[in-house]
Amino acid sequence: MLIRGGRIVDVAGDRVGDVRVGRDGRIAATGAGLEPLAGEEVVDASSCLVVPGGVDAHTHLQLPVGDVRVSDDFRTGTAAGAVGGTTTVVDYVTAYRGEDPLEAFATWRRWAEPASVDVGLHMTFTEAVSEATVAACVEQGVTSFKLYMAYPQTLQVDDGVIVDVLRAAGRHGGLVTVHAENGGAIEALRRTALAEGRTGVFEHSRTRPALLEGEAVSRVGVLAEITGAPVYVVHVSSAPALAAVREARRRGVDMLAETCPQYLELGAELLERADGDSFVCTPPLRDPWHHEELWQGLSDGTVHTVATDHCPFSVADRRAGLRARPEGWVDFTEIPGGLPGIETRMALVWEGAVAGRITVADWVRLCAEAPAKTFGLWPQKGSLLPGADADVVVWDPSLRQRLDADALHMRTDHSPYAGRAVSGWPRLVLSRGRAVARDGRYVGEPGWGRYVPRSPRPGARG
Ligand code: MN
């Protein structure tokens, strides 16, 4: 295939030219004035951008949550991602306490078989693990490890475990990602709210204040500093957390930060609506002034990637709650948390480029290049360099797309962006050279996606 005359934007620059996709599913060449070969499909990309396929480094597909389950599996979630321009997802495996992480990994590998685009996997540890386990994960191409500083009953680990895993991961070329909120303090606020009879949706937000996110980012920055290991903070949602990232980086800590479109776009006031339980996610949505701070952080490099934390539920499951009660959840602690987003990420961040909050090059870097580099997918993913996988998005800034649930492909019956439309959507999306979406329609094939083992960070002992 020859994609002609587009504005190509990737690590090699911003220029008008052509992209040739080889029969092997890799980028064969980029340049100006490439002539079609016999039998080659020619795609006219004039008036479009041609960019590397998006890399969404934070998804939860098929995940059981309490007595319900996220509504997208790997088949539907990756198809929706493809339509929106995402051609690689890195999903979080969770090894619950007492479970063998490698067995959990095998489960997720099986779940991921019907994926339409390539899939990498992170590993979540919920208790102390041996260094041999960390090494065994790296061996399987799982080179990043998530630790929770919140949810003490199920997921949280203490600072000692964080230090141990930071050290072990550092030695084996792994990267630790953290959910940074002070779980102990949040539990106290939740207990108080329930004891005082404050059970409504908004209490979800009130009991998880931004200061407790900032505190956890600050603390993990210190733990990273004393171990000399890098650390990546997932879903940074607030100004205090952003300030803590800046402060750690100022001291020379190798701290990377991710945010998600919901923290750039959606305000805490949504939790006060009648359907407020459809907007519960963790960290919670913040007041709009935080959005401006986060856009600034994206622009100045403090925030390194934009992922989604895609974790959709049906409206019925949200109402039923984590205990799946026919009469519905009884207080805010039973509402399943998480929002759909895998399909809308590229377009929502593009809007920031259109508005001049970030540059077009920032958009490509934040959504594709930086996550690929950070998570050991580079140079296979995240660029249009010759030899890279031909994961390509032909992005048409003039395509208008509604963000209501019925106009999208994610398997959920609500959309946090309902009533809104964006300008800019993929005209064509390729995964390893194969079309997976055309003109907003999914044209891929379940099972086309492969598991992508990820590389350890260079310089580690291995
Ligand atoms: Mn998550």
Contact partners, residue 253, CB within 8 Å, separation at least 6: 221, 224, 225, 231
Q: How close is the Cα of 439 to the center of ligand 1, in Å?
A: 30
Per-residue pLDDT tens digits for 58-79:
999 999 999 999 999 999 999 9
* Residue 162 falls inside a structural domain: yes
C-alpha 88: how far from chain center: 10
CA of 180 to the centre of ligand 1 (A): 11
Supply the mean pLDDT for the chain: 97
**Cα–ligand 1 centroid distance for 309 (angstroms):** 5
* CATH code, 345: 3.20.20.140
In this structure, the strands spanning 13-21 and 2-10 are antiparallel
Task: Dump pLDDT digits (tens) for 398-430.
Answer: 999 999 999 999 999 999 999 999 999 999 999
Q: Please, which residues bridge with residue 46 across strands?
A: none
Residue partners of 125: CB distance under 8 A and separation at least 6:
95, 101, 145, 146, 147, 157, 161, 165
For residue 283, how far is its CA from the centre of ligand 1 (angstroms)? 10
Interval between CA 386 and ligand 1 midpoint (Å): 33
161 in any annotated domain: yes
Q: pTM value?
A: 0.98
Beta bridge partners of 422: 401
Reading phi first (left if > 0) and then psi (alpha if -120 to 50, else beta), residue 185 is in: alpha
How much is the pLDDT for 86?
A: 99
Tell me the mean pLDDT in the region 274-300: 98
Question: Has residue 428 been placed in a domain?
Answer: no
The whole-number average pLDDT for the span 314-332 is: 96
The alpha carbon of 260 and the centre of ligand 1 are apart by a number of angstroms equal to 10
Q: Is 281 part of a structural domain of the chain?
A: yes
Instruction: Round to the nearest angstrom and report the end-to-end CA distance of the chain.
Output: 39
Ranges of H-type helices in 41-73: none
Task: Say how far apart CA 16 and CA 34 lie, in whole Å.
Answer: 12
CA of residue 177 to ligand 1 center, whole Å: 10
257 CB-near residues (< 8 Å, 6+ apart): 232, 233, 236, 241, 242, 245, 297, 302, 303, 304, 305
Number of domains the chain contains: 1
User: Is 313 part of any domain?
Assistant: yes
Ligand 1 centre distance from Cα of residue 60 (Å): 6
Q: Residues 211-234: pLDDT tens digits?
A: 999 999 999 999 999 999 999 999
Does residue 140 lie within any of the structural domains? Answer: yes
pLDDT tier for residue 462 given thresholds of 50, 70 and 90 = very low
CA of 353 to the centre of ligand 1 (A): 25
Residue 419: inside a domain, yes or no?
no
Q: Which domain holds residue 326?
A: 53-363
- Is position 9 within any domain? no
* Mean pLDDT within 310-328: 96
